[in-house]
């Protein structure tokens, strides 16, 4: 069992942390990130355990840690040490112990409104001050107090601590929706899920000023790591499901449509129905779902004709039901959807199938779900595979994008010439400078894209906002439409202007539109923007990664000349006056 997956082995993590760290550091490739922890209570053990979770996710952190309860001072006042540290992520670890003043029983409603305003303004000051670092800010909301002198009315009497905390948490939620670099670490939910009796240790607070129990620290670190994964584009994209005894109870090939268990007739039926409802929720918020089952295709497909089935056959972007090895089918699923193998999560009730898939394609996440259907949701939900830092309109449309792509593939089969197929799509591109309404989606696409990503750079929301306002940058987004529908915002390029030269620091494009000529349309417009700024040459970079080999020669295709090569990384140069437009298929609207 994976030490860093639900359910966590808390005692092993705490007891063997040094040997675990040593093993994680062996034979791994990491991305390096600077993470500042500003604590309202003791944080040293939190830092150490968080490091383990990040190392397990391929992130090697360097830490800045504030002094005890110095989170406000470190954030608000001049801090040369933090400035020099140059954080990528700042985590503010505050709890109910950091609320300056709860209501007194003699306070009236106006007094309490002032208390709330003062508390919220204090955190507004922190967030505004930290915005100078152009990085992601992870902020705890507030856990409930362990004790309630008012008993049950504490939740609704205006003098109650629970009432006060709920008001604060609501204000934090509102602000997080407004600030695109602020992310809430929901310890209110986490402490409730674990139980306040388990979450907080009075003795540990009195002895060492930890605002949670030692056993809760790995749970907290796990939760923070999920948010960081999401910020860095490491969340999963596709859920692959087995069928028999996973989507329904029983074996459809043996029991027939009438014999499988789904609905509300029995406890087993009810559990499978709840599981399908959860999967349907994932699909509705933009997660791709697919089937990988050892079954006859027609028989397997029929299972979703059951009148009690929540999922429909049309809900699945790929449906593999055959007798091929499942790891081969899963690799085919990744290819058909055109996503990395490490973007998949596989759920199967068979321990043998889980073991085979894990051993043959270790990049796929295969949780050890056991054999109780009632716990399957927990293994997906609590592991945070599909943690989101933003729910965009494009996310909600993602499955429609893939459904439309199926129609395009069917259309492609009718043409002998690929160019004729592309012309038949009647594509129109909107290519324009960054717009405020798309900044969240732009940030999301940059941090999620791995295959068509020339430099593998990541940008925070703050950096993207700054670039969008800069006169020293060429910054273009691209949206693509065709006769089958809207593909959404799918391409981004950023170039930095220095004198008469433009340096392309970033170019990403969604895998949905690869080989559709969109890269040529984007580059034509990029060169036009360079000409508008009197740029004479363009310097471009390709930084090799394990996933972006497909674009290693992209600049060669555009007519660039290679000027430097080092271990697969390349630098390219183009004389703008020599460039001729290469897109002749996509109609571009940039006005």
Mean pLDDT by 10 residues, the chain (591 residues): 91 96 88 96 98 96 97 96 96 98 96 97 97 95 96 97 98 94 97 97 97 98 97 93 97 93 95 98 95 96 96 95 96 90 96 95 95 96 94 74 72 82 93 93 90 90 91 96 90 96 95 89 96 96 90 94 94 94 90 60
Q: Is 38 helix (H, G, I), strand (E, B) or coil?
A: strand
User: Which pair of structure tokens corresponds to residue 55?
Assistant: 């190392």
Strands (E) located in 150-214: 182-185
Q: What is the pLDDT, as a whole number, of residue 28?
A: 76
What domains are defined for the chain?
A: 10-231 (3.40.50.1110), 238-381 (3.40.50.1000), 393-589 (3.40.630.30)
From CA 328, how far away is CA 317, in angstroms rounded? 17
Give just the sign of the alpha carbon dihedral 227, 387, 339, 392: negative
C-beta of residue 433 within 8 angstroms of C-beta of residue 475: yes
User: Which pair of structure tokens corresponds to residue 310?
Assistant: 């929540």
Please name the residue ranges forming H helices in 432-562.
Answer: 439-448, 461-469, 518-532, 554-557
Nearest-5° angle of CA 550, CA 556, CA 562? 110
Q: How far is CA 132 from CA 88, 344, 394, 466, in A?
A: 12, 36, 29, 11
User: Which pair of structure tokens corresponds to residue 97?
Assistant: 């112990």
From CA 142, how far away is CA 149, in angstroms rounded? 18
From CA 479, how far away is CA 587, in angstroms rounded? 12
From CA 383, how far away is CA 298, in angstroms rounded? 33
C-beta of residue 499 within 8 angstroms of C-beta of residue 535: no
User: Which pair of structure tokens corresponds to residue 250?
Assistant: 């029983």
Give just the sign of the alpha carbon dihedral 212, 218, 222, 224: positive
User: Which pair of structure tokens corresponds to residue 26?
Assistant: 């062996």
From CA 425, how far away is CA 247, in angstroms rounded? 36
User: Which pair of structure tokens corresponds to residue 435?
Assistant: 């717009």
From CA 77, how far away is CA 75, in angstroms rounded? 6
Q: What is the pLDDT, as a whole number, of residue 547?
A: 84
Q: What is the pLDDT, as a whole number, of residue 591?
A: 60
User: Which pair of structure tokens corresponds to residue 247?
Assistant: 């989507």
Q: How far is CA 330 from CA 2, 303, 344, 407, in A?
A: 21, 20, 9, 22
Please name the residue ranges forming H helices in 30-152.
Answer: 44-56, 71-76, 80-85, 109-130
Which contacts qualify for 69-75: CB closer than 8 Å, 24 or more apart?
69/39, 69/40, 69/41, 69/98, 69/209, 70/38, 70/39, 71/38, 71/39, 71/40, 71/98, 71/126, 72/122, 72/126, 74/38, 75/38, 75/125, 75/126, 75/129, 75/130
User: Which pair of structure tokens corresponds to residue 104?
Assistant: 């007194």
H/E element, 30: none
Closest of 558, 585, 338, 343 to residue 454, by C-alpha = 558
Q: How far is CA 412 from CA 405, 422, 425, in A?
A: 10, 8, 9
Neighbouring CB atoms inside 10 A of 588's CB total 18
Q: What is the pLDDT, as a whole number, of residue 416?
A: 80
C-beta of residue 64 within 8 angstroms of C-beta of residue 34: yes
From CA 136, how far away is CA 130, in angstroms rounded? 9
């Amino acid at each position: 069992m994976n030490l860093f997956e639900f359910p966590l082995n808390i005692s092993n993590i705490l007891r063997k942390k040094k040997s675990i760290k040593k093993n994680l550091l062996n034979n791994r490739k990491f991305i390096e990130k600077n993470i500042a922890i500003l604590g309202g209570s003791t944080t040293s053990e939190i830092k150490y355990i968080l490091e383990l979770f990040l190392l397990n996710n391929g992130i090697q952190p360097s830490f800045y840690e504030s002094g005890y309860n110095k989170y406000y001072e470190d954030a608000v006042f001049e801090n040369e040490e933090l400035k020099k540290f140059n954080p990528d992520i700042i985590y503010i670890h505050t709890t109910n112990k950091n609320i300056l003043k709860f209501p007194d029983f003699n306070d009236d409603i106006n007094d309490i409104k002032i208390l709330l305003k003062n508390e919220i303004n204090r955190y507004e000051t922190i967030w505004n001050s930290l915005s100078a670092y152009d990085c992601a800010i992870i902020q705890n909301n507030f856990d409930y107090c362990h004790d309630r002198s008012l008993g049950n009315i504490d939740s609704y009497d205006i003098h109650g601590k629970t009432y006060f905390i709920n008001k604060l948490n609501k204000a934090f939620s509102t602000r997080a929706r407004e600030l695109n670099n602020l992310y809430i670490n929901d310890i209110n939910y986490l402490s409730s899920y674990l139980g306040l009796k388990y979450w907080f240790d009075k003795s540990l607070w009195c002895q060492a000023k930890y605002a949670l129990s030692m056993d809760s620290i790995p749970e907290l670190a796990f939760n923070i790591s999920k948010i960081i994964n999401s910020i860095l584009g490491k969340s999963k994209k596709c859920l692959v499901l087995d069928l028999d005894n996973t989507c329904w109870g029983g074996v459809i090939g043996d029991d027939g449509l009438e014999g499988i268990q789904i609905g509300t007739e029995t406890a087993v039926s009810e559990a499978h129905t709840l599981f399908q409802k959860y999967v349907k929720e994932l699909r509705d918020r933009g997660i791709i779902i697919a089937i990988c089952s050892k079954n006859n295709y027609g028989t397997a497909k029929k299972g979703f004709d059951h009148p009690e089935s929540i999922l429909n056959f049309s809900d699945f972007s790929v449906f593999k039901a055959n007798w091929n090895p499942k790891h081969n089918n899963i690799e085919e699923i990744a290819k058909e959807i055109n996503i990395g193998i490490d973007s998949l999560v596989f759920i199967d009730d068979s321990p043998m199938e889980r073991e085979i898939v894990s051993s043959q394609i270790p990049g796929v996440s295969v949780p050890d779900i056991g054999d109780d259907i009632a716990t399957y949701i927990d293994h997906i939900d609590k592991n945070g595979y599909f943690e989101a830092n933003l729910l965009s309109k494009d996310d909600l449309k993602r499955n429609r994008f893939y459904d439309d792509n199926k129609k395009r593939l069917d259309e492609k089969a009718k043409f002998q010439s690929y160019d004729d197929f592309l012309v038949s799509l009647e594509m129109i591109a909107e290519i324009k400078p960054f717009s405020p309404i798309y900044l969240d989606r732009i940030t999301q696409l940059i941090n999620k894209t791995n295959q068509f990503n020339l430099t593998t750079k990541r940008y925070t929301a703050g950096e993207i906002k700054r670039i969008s306002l800069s006169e020293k940058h060429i910054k273009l987004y691209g949206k693509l439409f065709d006769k089958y529908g809207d593909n959404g915002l799918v391409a981004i390029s950023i170039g930095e202007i220095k004198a008469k030269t433009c340096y392309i620091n970033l170019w990403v494009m969604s895998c949905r539109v690869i080989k559709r000529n969109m890269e040529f349309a984007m580059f034509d417009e990029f060169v036009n923007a360079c000409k508008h700024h009197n740029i004479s040459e363009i310097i471009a970079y390709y930084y090799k990664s394990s996933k972006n080999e497909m674009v290693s020669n992209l600049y060669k295709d555009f007519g660039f000349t290679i000027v430097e090569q080092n271990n697969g990384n390349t630098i390219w140069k183009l004389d703008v006056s020599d460039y001729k437009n290469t897109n002749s298929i996509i109609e571009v609207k940039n006005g």
